[in-house]
Structure 1
Amino acid sequence: MITACYLPYTLNFIDAAGTSRGTMHTRQVWFLILQDSNTQKVGIGEVAPLPGLSIDNIPHIEAATEMKICSTHWPRYGLQTQWAIFFNQFPSIKFALETAWPDLKNGGNRQIFNVSSYRPIPINGLIWMGSFEEMKAQVDKRLKQASAALK
């Protein structure tokens, strides 16, 4: 059987993170941990909605996680179907499950995809809101990093 638990964690930002919805100094996330009772291996996923930007009902995330995930012993098969039904209104929980499960299946080595070589995935360069000077410095840094797009 697969058992699950979660650990709340507060990220304390070194610099304020400005978004279109305001400035964040901290961010609440949860680490979802799946454990296989046969092997004792664990898979970890991150539940990390952004207040004001994510569609998740953030005040109810802990209750949904506790009630639907941690109180259930999951079979090894058919998990994705069950998750799709339970977590449509909580995409951040669904994402955590969808990353914790392959991590567990791949031996609990924090390797979601079992590939023979490691090659970074190109991502967009994120620009946090701030003063003109702060944002320009971030743009210059991201351009030097050859970001394909700036957001």
Structure 2
Amino acid sequence: MTREFKLYRKQLHFKFKAGTSRGYYTTRDCYFLTIEENGEIKGIGECSPLPGLSAEFSDKKSFEAKLEAFTARANFDKNFNLSVLKNESSILFAFESALLHEDRKSFLLFNNAFTKGTTPININGLIWMGDYETMRKRIIAKIHDGFKCIKVKIGAIDFAKEIDLLKLIRSEFAEKDLTLRVDANGAFSPDEALTKLNELAKYDIHSIEQPIKAGQYDSLCQICKESPIPVALDEELIGINDSRKKEKLLEQIKPSFIVLKPTLHGGLKSTIEWIKLAQSYEIGYWITSALESSIGLNVIAQFTGSLNLSNHQGLGTGRLFDDNLDFPALKLNGEQMTFDSSALDKVNLKEFLS
């Protein structure tokens, strides 16, 4: 019986131009690592780094070469250990996922109340950037769909227009009825950040993700200390894979929250380490997908279900693509994500990977 790791590449297409302050996404390059025996898939994991964000990704050609090299090494080196992937976040997540799938012999990876179908995961409604009218319609649609927590990406259109959008939301929905998060993706300059945060604070904002670009520690420390809105770190955590450096970052910056993405933040094991450190410093957290296909989202959702979190998670990206893998076990009804294990046998991997 021959067991081997294999790679598959697939490009997914967004249903719309997905805008952030860093630009727009129209396609998504995904890589899938399988464990196969005699042509039968025994395990699968997704490796989908985000160009411009993932620390292990410099350019497509060199990344693919690195991914192929690690895959080949896993096949010929009997002592291959995942520790060598410590700084290869998305690749490590793919290996962790594939090995977990192989071990469980099923897409049912975690045993918890979510995967048993008894406890749903509440997710936030994500509002991608666009022109004012497009964003207004998206916000109204999410609220009408039953979302009690909305996350609005800001920093790409005129700030006054973004304020108008938040004013529109708060004119109809009070803080007790709707939680409002914003994500700047590092769009503010350090000099203007506090001024803008004071303006945003008028609209009862729950939190702001990454107000300034990562790596500006002194400025970020000041902002976290003086901001009238709780600050959540996201991009700031990327590439920080050493335990002591993680602790130093949280101790020094003292954010209110951290936003964890296994694909970007070192895989599942590293995410658990971030969580334990955050808890020790009384820092809140939630889990977010990073534009993975259904394969990666399944792992992240089931993992999140094991954490017994009551706040809203960022797992609503599964419907972004025209050509995503049909994964009927994950269901979305308004803001509630549920899991139906009886639908796992309907997943057609071979057709998706072909």
User: Does the alignment reach a TM-score above 0.5?
Assistant: yes
Is the contact made by 2:43 and 2:102 (CA closer than 8 Å) also made in structure 1?
yes
**Using the alignment, how far apart are the partners of 2:148 and 2:77 within structure 1?**
42
1:66 maps to 68
Amino acid at match of 1:44: I
Q: Secondary structure at the match of 1:11?
A: strand
- Counterpart residue number, 1:44: 44
Residues 8-53 of structure 1 show CA distances to partners (whole Å, capped at 9, x for unaligned) of: 111122211112211121111111112357xx55211111112222
Question: Match for residue 23 of structure 1?
Answer: 24
Amino acid at match of 1:95: F
Could you tell me how far apart the structure 2 residues matched to 1:68 and 1:147 are? 43
Q: What is the distance in 2 between the residues matched to 1:137 and 1:33? A: 40
Residue in structure 1 matched with residue 138 of structure 2 by the alignment? 138
Structure 1 stretch displaced more, 98-107 or 119-128: 119-128
Aligned residues: 145
Structure 2 residue matching 1:134: 3-state secondary structure = helix
Distance 2:150 2:76 in 1: 40
Which structure features the higher share of helix residues? Answer: 2
Cα shift readout 1:87-107 (whole Å, capped 9, x = no counterpart): 233211111112222111111
Residue matched to 2:129: 129
In 2: Cα distance, 1:75 partner to 1:145 partner: 51
Q: State the AA in 1 paired with 2:107.
A: R
Residue segments in structure 1 that go unaligned for 5+ positions in a row = none
Residues 1:74 and 1:34: Cα distance change in structure 2 (over 3 Å): farther
RMSD, matched Cα: 2.9
Gaps spanning 5+ residues in structure 2: where?
152-182, 184-354
How many angstroms does 1:135 deviate by? 1.7
**Which deviates the most, 2-11 or 134-143?**
134-143
1:106–1:114 Cα contact (<8 Å) kept? no
- So what's the TM-score if we normalise by structure 1? 0.77
Matched, 1:110 2:111: no
Secondary structure of 1:33's match?
strand
Provide the residue aligned with 1:11 in structure 2: 12
AA aligned to 1:16 is K
Secondary structure of the structure 2 residue equivalent to 1:30:
strand
Distance 1:111 1:44 in 2: 12
Distance (whole Å) between structure 2 residues aligned to residue 64 and residue 53 of structure 1: 17
Taking only the aligned residue pairs, the percentage that are identical comes to 31
2:89 corresponding residue in structure 1: 91
Return the alpha-carbon distance in structure 1 between the equivalents of residues 125 and 87 of structure 2: 28
Cα distance, 1:2 vs structure 2: 4.5
Matched residues in 1 for 2:110 and 2:56: separation?
26
Contact in 1 for aligned 2:127/2:150 (Cα 8 Å): no
| C-alpha distance 98-74 of structure 1, shift in aligned 2 (>3 A) | farther
Instruction: Judge conservation of contact 2:29–2:48 (CA < 8 Å) in 1.
Output: yes
Larger radius of gyration: 2
For 2:65 and 2:24, locate their aligned partners in 1 and report how far apart those are by CA, in whole Å. Answer: 26
Q: Match for 1:4: what amino acid?
A: F
1:120, distance to aligned residue in structure 2 (A)? 3.8
Deviation at 1:133, TM superposition (A): 1.8
Q: Secondary structure at the match of 2:127?
A: coil
Q: Measured at CA, do residues 133 and 10 of structure 1 come closer, stay the same or move farther in structure 2, by a change above 3 Å?
A: same
After superposition, the Cα gap between the structure-2 partners of 1:117 and 1:88, relative to the gap in structure 1 and judged at 3 Å, is: same
TM (norm. structure 2) is 0.36
